[in-house]
Amino acid sequence: MAANLGIRQCWLVMNETTQISMRPMTHPHLPRGAGRLEYPVGRVTVTRVSWGGSPECGKERPALIIGARGDRLWIRPIYTNDYKAGRWRSVVIDDWKRAGLKRQCYVSVDVLEVRRHQCGPVGNKLSVHDWNRVCRGEVHD
């Protein structure tokens, strides 16, 4: 039995022992078919993130894969400083060690489309807690 709580696609599920568990949500605002919760969605990778108009301006940084279809990935860059990630609109990763990160980080509000070959190996998966917070767009203080 599932109950829709009216919070986008967040569902609480009752199992046979009446324990409540949280299912991962899908990320909103992606092209049709790109937001399925299949490998590698919800995992951290490394890719080059550019800034400014020049391809020379940029650096390799971790990114959260929020969508995948064919050879395309939709990612949200991960920063160690919230001011680069979008200040209060960014989402702090609470379980950063589980995600394979070296310190507490922030998931940017920016969504970028990249090709799979532009990304490094796919790493650890975000916890359901952190993934659902990113999908809901929770913000930090």
Residue 9, token pair as written in the block = 């696609």
Closest CA to 132 of 29, 8, 25, 13: 25
pLDDT at 140: 64
Closest CA to 91 of 138, 28, 44: 138
End-to-end Cα distance, the chain: 35
Beta bridge partners of 45: 63
pLDDT at 64: 95
pLDDT at 4: 34
Q: Is 8 helix (H, G, I), strand (E, B) or coil?
A: coil
- What gap in Å lies between CA 74 and CA 97, rounded to an integer? 23
Q: What is the pLDDT along the chain (141 residues), one digit of tens a residue?
A: 333 333 333 333 333 444 444 566 666 667 776 766 677 889 999 999 987 777 778 899 999 999 888 899 999 999 998 777 666 788 999 999 999 999 999 999 888 999 999 999 999 999 999 998 888 877 765
